[in-house]
């Protein structure tokens, strides 16, 4: 994650995920905790890192939206190993594409993890559309001005954000 200008909390969450340190429900159950094993985002399957970040229908909707806004192509991934290979391949180097990828990837991981935490600990939830829009706002307003990514991408994201929601989330 060299030269990633994503927010430190997003980079840290991504780091925890990559090193298998995120406290997903399956890990807590293995340690003896008696908690609901279901993923709080879809309430259908047991929560593991692979489910949460690869298979979960809720998270998939966010990845698909990121696919549409950037060149990220997450939709064909079906296993955690494929997810890792995809992340490593797209993060390499300092190209414009790699810079965009690193920011959007880290912020998406963070957003999915935070939504999961909000649902468990604060008993409140949001639609995936709100999460995707929040990632885009953070990207355009906070992070892009700090990066050396060309203004062309800044412009395309700005257009996405000012476009009517019907166009954005159709
Ligand atoms: Zn799920």
* Beta-carbon contacts of residue 120 (< 8 Å; ≥ 6 apart): 40
Distance in angstroms (rounded) separating the CA atoms of residues 119 and 65: 21
pTM of the model: 0.84
Average pLDDT over residues 42-70: 92
How does pLDDT run across 5-16, given as a tens digit for each residue?
Answer: 889 999 999 999
How does pLDDT run across 115-155, given as a tens digit for each residue?
Answer: 999 999 999 899 999 999 999 888 877 777 776 554 545 55
What is the 40 CA–ligand 1 centroid distance (Å)? 6
* Contact by Cβ (8 Å): 109, 84: no
What is the 50 CA–ligand 1 centroid distance (Å)? 10
Distance in angstroms (rounded) separating the CA atoms of residues 24 and 46: 10
CA proximity to 47, closest of 27, 25, 30: 25
What is the 46 CA–ligand 1 centroid distance (Å)? 7
81: exposed, middle or buried (Cβ count in 10 Å: 0-12, 13-18, 19+): exposed
Give percent above pLDDT 90 in the chain: 56
The sign of the torsion formed by the CA atoms of 74, 75, 79, 80 equals positive
What is the 94 CA–ligand 1 centroid distance (Å)? 33
What is the 113 CA–ligand 1 centroid distance (Å)? 11
CA proximity to 11, closest of 21, 23, 1: 1
Distances (CA, A) of 105 to 31, 56, 166: 29, 16, 25
Q: What is the pLDDT of residue 101?
A: 87
Average pLDDT over residues 10-27: 95
What is the 167 CA–ligand 1 centroid distance (Å)? 26
Distance in angstroms (rounded) separating the CA atoms of residues 168 and 83: 26
What is the 109 CA–ligand 1 centroid distance (Å)? 14
What is the 20 CA–ligand 1 centroid distance (Å)? 18
What is the 70 CA–ligand 1 centroid distance (Å)? 24
The helix or strand, by DSSP H or E, that contains position 88, with its residue range, turns out to be: helix 80-91
What is the 146 CA–ligand 1 centroid distance (Å)? 33
């Amino acid at each position: 994650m060299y030269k990633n200008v994503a927010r430190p909390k997003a980079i840290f969450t991504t780091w925890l995920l990559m090193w298998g340190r995120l406290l997903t429900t399956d890990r807590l159950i293995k340690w003896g905790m008696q908690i609901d094993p279901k993923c709080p985002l879809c309430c259908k399957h047991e929560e593991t890192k692979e489910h949460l970040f690869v298979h979960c229908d809720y998270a998939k909707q966010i990845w698909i939206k990121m696919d549409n806004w950037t060149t990220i192509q997450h939709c064909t991934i079906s296993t955690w190993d494929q997810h890792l290979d995809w992340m490593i391949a797209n993060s390499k180097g300092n190209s414009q594409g790699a810079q965009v990828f690193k920011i959007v990837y880290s912020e998406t991981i963070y957003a999915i993890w935070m939504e999961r935490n909000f649902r468990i600990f604060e008993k409140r939830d949001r639609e995936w559309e709100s999460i995707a829009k929040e990632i885009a706002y953070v990207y355009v307003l906070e992070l892009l001005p700090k990066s050396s990514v060309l203004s062309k991408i800044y412009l395309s994201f700005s257009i996405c954000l000012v476009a009517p929601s019907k166009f954005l989330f159709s």
